[in-house]
Amino acid sequence: METATHLASKPNLLHMTKSATALPLSLFPQSFVFERISKADIVFLLSDRVDDKFGNDCVIRSADRAVTRIQIPVCNRRAPVDDVVVSPDRSTWQSALEAEVRRVYRGLPFASAATELVTKSMSYTSEWLLDYLMHAFVMTLEQLDWRKKLVRGSVVERRQFGDAADYLLYLGLKNDCDRVILGADQAKKYRGRFSAKSVTVVSQNWEGTPLLSPRDSILDAIARYSVKDILKEMDKQH
């Protein structure tokens, strides 16, 4: 292990900024989420309560932009996401989901890459929705060839804090983060509280590009563009 003296001879290591971002797990999140992730070293994956925008589904778009919603069917929609159980006929809904993605993306330049990602993401056996969402997220990072530290939030731990901002600040400090990248509204709300603890809140300013819409699923991007081009689009507008 390097001592402080050794590190002092390498100032870039002493002053290196460690960035984090946070998100609730969902099925193939939108591209703007991955733009934030591309700038972060650590991703905090937080639990969220089930609501009308439940994380078990995802909107995808065909070559002519027709909208289709794919989903992992569940049994207990109104439970906290940590307790949600997937439908027991897994082989049936997994096959149907994969077939639907192949149908929607037919004719797109990188349709095979997207359908392969879905197949890998669904090739999993668990009764818990959260396990599927986590596996799909990890498979997506691998598809993009990203290496990120993932920190899974604890529901029990979260309940010890007054609100989400306090818990996120705790995670940031615990993981030695210098800055946290958040959406504009959340950044404005949290900035003062975080700066008091010497953690900088950075507001995401990426609004997409003519090729890559921030609100489209990352799966749509993977079906249309190479990984190299996706990363190039995410680097624009900074």
Residue-wise pLDDT tens digits, 99-154: 999 999 999 999 999 999 999 999 889 999 999 999 999 999 999 999 999 999 88
Task: For 54-90, give one letter per residue: b (16+ CB within 10 A) or e.
Answer: bbbebbbbbeeeeeeebebbbeeeeeebbebebeeeb
SS3 200: strand
The pLDDT of residue 11 is above 70: no
pLDDT at residue 161, as a whole number? 86
Lowest mean pLDDT, pick from 53-62, 83-92, 105-114, 126-135: 53-62
Locate the DSSP E strands across 159-232: 179-182, 200-203
Element (H, E) at 68: strand 67-71
pLDDT at residue 6, as a whole number? 31
For 12, phi then psi, to 5°, come to -65, -30
The pLDDT of residue 222 is above 80: yes
Angle at 62 between CA 58 and CA 68, to 5 degrees: 35
Q: How far apart are CA 59 and CA 70, in angstroms?
A: 6
61 and 216 Cβ atoms separated by less than 8 Å: yes
In terms of Cα–Cα distance, which of 120, 68, 137, 109 is closest to 229?
Answer: 109
